[in-house]
Structure 1
Amino acid sequence: MAPAKRARRVLHVSAAGLACALAAVTAPPAQAAEPVTGAPTLMSLRLDAPTAYLTFRDNSEPDISYTIVLTEKDNPGYTKIVRTAPGGVPGTGRVATRSADGIKPGVAYCATIRATVHYEESVPQPYELEDPVTPESNKVCADPVDASKPGSAPTDLSVGPITGEANPPSGTNRNYWVGYSNKGATATGVVLEVWATGPMTLRRPPAAGTFSGFTCAPSGASGFRCTGGTVKAGEKNQIPLLITVTNAGNGTVHASITGARDANTADNGASFAFQAVPRTP
């Protein structure tokens, strides 16, 4: 008897299914986002023994920790103080403050800061990869807070909020008010600048000496610059921007404040957006 023939099973695959299968085989594995390893920008240093406070702009992502290095200003070769601070600043370009303990009272220090960034390899490795560390930031030095010399204590100037009409009518005169304050020691020689971009022109600067002793003069077509102000500890005040709305359109009111020994420069600028509208008859 002739042997029975074994039937063959034929698998039918559509063209679309074959394309998907091939793509699954040949597609490269998903790549993890590359870490950003820019060095932090150190903005200010405040020494209030036993703690040093560093305010900086973060330029890395995703940061998992920071390393702070402090050296004595007059003895740079002396033993360094190295401290680790927590990371977790979201994104890049944001301003943050971290602290380090262990400084001596009455001693001036210089500081730098760098970030450790998490690195995750998309392809498994036989060994664990080391997380990259950013370059060191710029160096900032500071003198200590001296309770016996109030003039050496840090100031903390800030500007804002700016208030006024969001939709001023064209062809009218309007006032915008710029707030400013000082949460630190008395600040002298303060400089305050206010200006507008867009459909505005300056009517006149604030009267000299009316606001914290500032002397103000026009700056450009739509702003003024005030110098020589004294903003006392805890003082809060407002200064007006007196303008004429020239025509309809978008614009912004800007302000900045500066002074010596400012412990935190992250809040030294503010802005307020407006949209001038046609004047109703």
Structure 2
Amino acid sequence: MACGLVAGLATPAGAGEKPPAPTTVRVWTEGTTAYVTFRDNTADESGFWVAVFEKDNPNNEAGKVRKLYPGSPGTGREVTRSLPGVKPGVAYCGAAQARVPATDSASGLPTHEFSEWSKNVCSAATDPADPAGAPTNASLGTFNGEFAPTVGTNRTYWLPYFSSGGDAKGAVIDVTTDGSLSVRKPPDSTIFSGFECKMNAPAADGKVRGYRCTGGTLKSTEKKELPVFAHVDKAGQGVIRATLRVPGDTNPGDNSSVHIVMAK
């Protein structure tokens, strides 16, 4: 990571090939707290270092915030972690680094291997007194819901969505499922930020595997959740994917979310 942010976190001596780095998805601030969303690309990590620094003053050591968090179950999930202690209204860049248990080749003692830092992603500077006047920056968060649902049951998963900049108008959210999951019904129209939601056409097996919501308005700094009413059709892996499109979005890199389940 640029500007010495990773100083003191070098890979331990004797470690082998580095584990894969996380993928930074989104960085944003709310008041004095920064948030970093990243995709977990390792299956057996013991933790993640997450860090931010000031975009326009990267050498300011006092402006850097770093914290070690526990690992995330599985791999491929999007994870959001918070870092309190940033300056309101200032643009920050952030990234994450995976820490994986290892054995030192020379001493045989337990140690850790560290991935490279993920690619920096930066937030936009906003006027803390007027967040609604900020550039549009709509985003999707990490799905909430059961990881190991039972076959033959109904489950509801929740997809967070929000705008950390100005109001995001004309939003479109597409949700699809595959594997062990299908969709029972769309969210009720007009209840969720004015979205009109309609089911996709049935697949070849007769199951409906998604819906589209159009015409939504994401109010500045307002956080809401959209439901995915799923049915667990069979055992095995199931995937829910969501994408968000908003005209004029300044950071479309954080407009997707994936949730993996293992039905039993």
Short-chain TM bin: 0.5 to 0.7
Residue matched to 1:121: 104
Matches of 1:177 and 1:62 in 2, distance apart? Answer: 29
Residue matched to 2:23: 41
Aligned residues: 224
1:68 aligned to 2:68?
no
1:56 aligned to 2:38?
yes
Alignment of 1:178-197 (within 5 A): 187-195=168-176, 197=178
If the length of structure 2 is used for normalisation, what is the TM-score? 0.54
| CA deviation vs aligned residue, 1:68-109 (integer Å, no higher than 9, x gap) | 25242x455x43544442243155525444444554332212
Matches of 1:271 and 1:226 in 2, distance apart? Answer: 21
Match of 2:116 among 116, 125, 135: 135
SS in structure 2 at match of 1:43:
strand
Match of 2:244 among 236, 258, 269: 258
Letter in 1 for 2:212: R
SS in structure 2 at match of 1:107:
coil
Matches of 1:119 and 1:237 in 2, distance apart? Answer: 40
Q: Which has the larger radius of gyration?
A: 1
Q: 1:257 to 1:230 in 2, by over 3 A?
A: farther
Alignment of 1:1-281 (within 5 A): 37-60=19-42, 61-63=44-46, 66=49, 68-72=51-55, 74=56, 78-79=59-60, 81-90=63-72, 93=75, 94-100=77-83, 103-121=86-104, 124=107, 131-151=112-132, 152=134, 167=152, 187-195=168-176, 197=178, 212-215=193-196, 219=200, 221=202, 222=208, 223-231=210-218, 233=222, 250=234, 254=240, 256=242, 258=244, 268-269=257-258
If the length of structure 1 is used for normalisation, what is the TM-score? 0.52
Q: 1:270 to 1:229 in 2, by over 3 A?
A: farther
Unaligned runs of 5+ in 1: 1-32, 169-174, 242-248, 275-281
Letter in 2 for 1:225: R
Please give the root-mean-square deviation of Cα atoms over the aligned residues, in Å.
5.3
Percent identical: 27
Residue matched to 1:26: none
Deviates more, 1:252-261 or 1:33-42: 252-261
Q: 1:239 to 1:51 in 2, by over 3 A?
A: closer
Decide whether the 8 Å contact of 2:144 with 2:159 is kept in 1: yes
Decide whether the 8 Å contact of 1:70 with 1:112 is kept in 2: no
Letter in 2 for 1:143: A
Matches of 1:178 and 1:70 in 2, distance apart? Answer: 33
Per the TM alignment, residue 39 of structure 1 is displaced from its structure 2 partner at its CA by 1.0
Higher relative contact order (CA 8 A, sep 6+): 2
Matches of 1:58 and 1:87 in 2, distance apart? Answer: 12
Per the TM alignment, residue 141 of structure 1 is displaced from its structure 2 partner at its CA by 0.8
Unaligned runs of 5+ in 2: 1-14, 203-207
